[in-house]
Amino acid sequence: MIQPRTNPADNKIPRLLAVANQKGGVGKTTTAVNLATALCAVGQKVLLVDLDSQGNASTGLGVRRAEIQKSTYDVLFGEADVLDVAVKTKVPRLSLAPSSLHLAGAEIELVTAEEREYCLRKALRKPLPYDYVIIDCPPSLSLLTLNAFVAVDSIVVPLQCEFYALEGLSHLVKTIERVQRSFNPGLDIHGVVLTMYDPRNRLSGAVASDVRKYFGDKVYKTVIPRNVRLSEAPSYGLPAIVYDMKCPGAQAYIHLASEIIRRERDLRKEKIIKEEQVA
Ligand SMILES: Nc1ncnc2c1ncn2[C@@H]1O[C@H](COP(=O)(O)OP(=O)(O)OP(=O)(O)O)[C@@H](O)[C@H]1O
Ligand SMILES: [Mg+2]
């Protein structure tokens, strides 16, 4: 179903967050879908942008590939407005810009695109009828992910509690710093979320403490446990928070969302204070 247009005068530039880590299977999509749902549950209007050609966020929200007419591919290349691509989901206030297989070729097409790093920014950083835009990134630091970093205010980094968790992290941090220097000075890491934590596994605890040493306060207090309900939910086309709100995984994502909302509030306060000092 296509989104009904709202009065453009009511629109404002939403807060834009990317969920990213070039490592595969660390919980990016699970985090993006459940965080978006939890934000909607507290009254926020959210657009989830599926920027991965695998389309896991789209299928995880019950949007089937066959039903998709236009996708984030069209948004990226300026061939469709994001509002014409967004579809409603079963979650009240949550819309989805679905992905398509065309995105797999977008990397190569972007290389020759005009202002290739800014394509997504041009499409998303504008007044829209949403409070939040959350981008689910693919598992790479390619031009697609770079486009997300140039477009957003902040990045949420899921880290799986396993031996290789920290491997490649310096590459991610360096990429973020490069984007800050060259394209998007306001970009920062919103926070790092530890995923698939298993308290019975000593390694999980050791990795968690190493990550806290490396990232300090940036690591959210909430840790997402390994929970089979989180992995079952997408096969029903539902976020875990809707599929089984009481399961430990869903509860952890609800706590994470509260923590993120608190951090958001603090950031807004800091910004107002800075603006008042300048004025
Ligand atoms: N906390 C968890 N407990 C148990 N299973 C989980 C948890 N988080 C994610 N999973 C499962 O692990 C797999 C990978 O998760 P997910 O798809 O969210 O990772 P991803 O980083 O988006 O992967 P990709 O890099 O392929 O996009 C999925 O099958 C998902 O259902
Ligand atoms: Mg994914």
Q: Please write the tens of the pLDDT for every residue from 123-139.
A: 999 999 999 999 999 99
Q: Choose which residue among 29, 49, 226 to substitute to test ligand 1 binding: the one with the highest number of ligand atoms within 8 A of its C-beta.
A: 29
Question: Which atom, in ligand 1's list, is nearest to the CA of 137?
Answer: 27
Measure 256 CA to ligand 1 centroid, in angstroms.
Answer: 16
Segment 135-152 mean pLDDT:
97
Please give the distance, rounded to the nearest whole angstrom, from the Cα atom of residue 262 to the centre of ligand 2. 26
The per-residue pLDDT for 169 is 87
Confidence bin at 273 (pLDDT 50/70/90): confident
C-alpha distances in angstroms, 266 versus 11, 212, 273? 23, 21, 11
β-strand partners of 189: 155
Cα angle value 221/169/107 (rounded, 5°): 115
Average pLDDT (153-164) is 92
The full set of domains in the chain, from first to last, is 13-278 (3.40.50.300)
From the CA of 23, give the closest atom in ligand 1.
25
Contacting residues for 10 by C-beta, under 8 A, at least 6 apart: 129
From CA 261, how far away is CA 254, in angstroms rounded?
A: 11
Whether the Cβ atoms of residue 19 and residue 48 lie closer than 8 Å to each other: no
Determine which residue's CA is closest to atom 31 belonging to ligand 1: 231
Task: Report the predicted TM-score, pTM, of the whole model to 2 decimal places.
Answer: 0.95
pLDDT-derived band at 89, boundaries 50, 70, 90: very high
Question: Using CA atoms, how far apart are residues 60 and 110, in angstroms rounded to an integer?
Answer: 27
How many CB atoms are located within 10 Å of the residue 65 CB? Answer: 13
Please check the confidence at residue 2 and state whether its pLDDT lies above 70. no
State the distance from the centre of ligand 2 to the C-alpha of 155, rounded, in angstroms. Answer: 15
Q: Which ligand is nearest to the CA of 196?
A: 1
Residues 6+ apart with CB under 8 A from 47: 14, 82, 86, 95, 96, 97, 128, 130, 132, 133, 134
The mean pLDDT value of the chain amounts to 93
pLDDT computed for residue 6 by the predictor: 59
pLDDT digits (tens, 9 = 90+) for 202-239: 888 898 999 999 899 999 999 999 999 999 999 999 99
Q: Enumerate residues lining ligand 1, CB below 6 A.
A: 24-30, 52, 54, 56, 139, 195-196, 224, 226-227, 230-231, 234, 249
pLDDT tens-digit profile of 23-45?
Answer: 999 999 999 999 999 999 999 99
At residue 186, the pLDDT reads: 93
How far is ligand 2, taken at its centre, from the CA of residue 152, in Å? 18
- Residue 5 predicted with pLDDT over 60: no
Which pLDDT score, from 0 to 100, does residue 164 have?
81
Specify the pLDDT at position 227.
Answer: 97
Query: With bands split at pLDDT 50, 70 and 90, how would you rate the model's confidence at 8?
Result: low
Evaluate whether 250 touches 229 at the Cβ level (below 8 Å).
yes
Which atom of ligand 1 is least distant from the CA of 24? 25
pLDDT beyond 90 at 274 = no
Closest atom of ligand 1 to 232 CA is: 31
- Cα–ligand 1 centroid distance for 9 (angstroms): 39
